[in-house]
Every structure is written in C-alpha cells, then in structure tokens.
C-alpha cells in the first residue's frame, strides 16, 4: 500500500446494525474520539472500503452519505452534519464567481462576494467560510467579514460544528423567504 492509498471509509452502527454515521480516515481515526458523534463499541464500527487515496475516500464517504441521507436535513438516518467530510487540504471544486454572481444581486448587496455567497448557500443549504473562499478564490478574511455582516443583519445564522462555523439562511427572518424566492429564479 502506497502512502497515498492509506485512507478508508467507515460506518458507525447502532444496536439494530443500521449506520448512524459515515466517515473517512486513516490510521486510528475510526476508533478515535469525534467532536460531533459518539464512537460506538469496536464491534459496531464497520470499515467499508480500504486502501483508498484521500480523494477516493472523500468521494466514497460522500456517496454513502447520499445513500443513507442526513437526519438533521430530514433526508435520512445519519448524524453527519455535512454531505462530505473534511480533509487536511480539502478539495473544493473551483467555481467562476462571474457565473455565480447575478448582476441584480451584486447591485443589491454591492459586491460579487455577497452575491456568490448567497447563491451558494441557497443551492447547498449551508457552507463555511473556508469552503466559500476556496470555491470562488476569494480571500478568507473578506469572505468571513461578509458572512458576519449577513449574520449581523439576520439574513444568515450560524452554528459551530467541531471547530467550523457553518452558515445557513435565517428562516426566522420573514424577509429571507422573499430573498430565497428571488434566488430560486436565478438557479
């Protein structure tokens, strides 16, 4: 096994042997403490695939999460919070900000960063600063300032998962419904 192909995917099984969490890792990761999920007894940890590169492991993890769905999004049974796990140097598909930033949205919010962030979160339902910055090639500080400004104005809300602050639309703000209706016309 090469150094590159040392990753694996795993599932945590409940007492009925259904998965409640899907992950990827290397070394002892499947058996180590997690911040957002309880690690089961060793006989309830199932290694799904071995000898994968990190990219292969991320893709398999994402596939398995899509099969079982995420409980908090009411799409399935898993306790995972995101449709894909994290990586030391996470791969984010690059997107062209010019294709994501609608001229009207850019004019309303005065910048392309804001337009891209809102459309991305509308389509993906949630995102974090690093994800947005790397996807669009924006500076991380600029992206985080924009996210904080949206949160301060009650357009977005955030929650901390592990050591990552994840943003989504603030559904308690009645104006956000109108914004989402507008965003739906752009997709």
- The domain locations on the chain are 7-73, 97-186
Please write the tens of the pLDDT for every residue from 107-125: 988 899 999 999 999 988 8
Q: Of 48 and 89, which is predicted with more confidence?
A: 48
Please write the tens of the pLDDT for every residue from 87-109: 543 456 688 898 888 899 899 88
Question: To the nearest whole number, what is the mean pLDDT of the chain?
Answer: 87
Q: Is pLDDT at 5 greater than 80 in this prediction?
A: no
Q: What is the strand order of the sheet 156-161 is part of?
A: 127-128, 164-169, 156-161
Residues with Cβ < 8 Å from 15, sequence gap 6 or more?
44
Please write the tens of the pLDDT for every residue from 9-32: 999 999 999 999 999 988 888 988
pLDDT grade for 146, boundaries at 50, 70 and 90: very high
pLDDT of residue 78: 93
CA dist 127 and 159 (Å) reads 11
User: Residue for token digits 């690059």?
Assistant: 94
| CB-based burial, 84-121: b 16+ in 10 Å, e otherwise | bbbeeeeebeebebeebbbeebbeebeebbbbbbbbbb
pLDDT of residue 100: 87
CA-to-CA dists, residue 77 to 13, 39, 64, angstroms: 11, 16, 12
Cα 57 vs. chain centroid, distance in angstroms? 16
| CA atoms within 13 A of residue 143's CA, in its CB half-sphere | 23
- 3 state DSSP class of 2: coil
Residues with Cβ < 8 Å from 95, sequence gap 6 or more?
116, 120, 135, 136
pLDDT of residue 26: 85
pLDDT of residue 187: 60
Could you say which architecture CATH assigns to the domain 97-186? Orthogonal Bundle (1.10)
Q: Is pLDDT at 139 greater than 70 in this prediction?
A: yes
Please write the tens of the pLDDT for every residue from 72-87: 888 899 998 877 665 5
pLDDT of residue 125: 87
Q: Pairing state of beta strands 45-52 and 7-13?
A: antiparallel
pLDDT of residue 99: 87
Q: Is pLDDT at 1 greater than 50 in this prediction?
A: no
Of the chain, the percentage scoring pLDDT greater than 90 comes to 54
Q: Of 36 and 167, which is predicted with more confidence?
A: 167
């Amino acid at each position: 096994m090469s150094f590159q192909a040392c990753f694996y995917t795993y599932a945590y099984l409940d007492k009925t042997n259904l998965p409640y969490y899907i992950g990827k890792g290397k070394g002892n990761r499947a058996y180590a403490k997690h911040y957002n999920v309880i690690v089961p007894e060793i006989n309830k940890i199932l290694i799904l695939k071995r000898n994968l590169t990190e990219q292969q492991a991320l893709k398999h993890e994402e596939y398995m999460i899509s099969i079982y769905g995420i409980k908090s999004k009411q799409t399935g049974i898993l306790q995972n919070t995101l449709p894909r796990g994290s990586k030391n140097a996470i791969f984010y598909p690059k997107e062209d900000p010019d294709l994501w930033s609608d001229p009207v949205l850019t004019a309303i919010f005065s910048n392309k960063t804001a337009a891209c962030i809102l459309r991305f979160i509308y389509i993906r339902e949630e995102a974090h600063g690093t994800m947005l910055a790397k996807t669009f090639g924006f500076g991380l500080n600029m992206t985080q300032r924009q996210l904080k400004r949206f949160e301060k104005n009650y357009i977005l809300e955030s929650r901390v998962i592990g050591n990552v602050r994840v943003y989504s639309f603030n559904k308690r703000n009645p104006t956000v419904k109108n914004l989402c209706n507008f965003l739906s016309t752009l997709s």
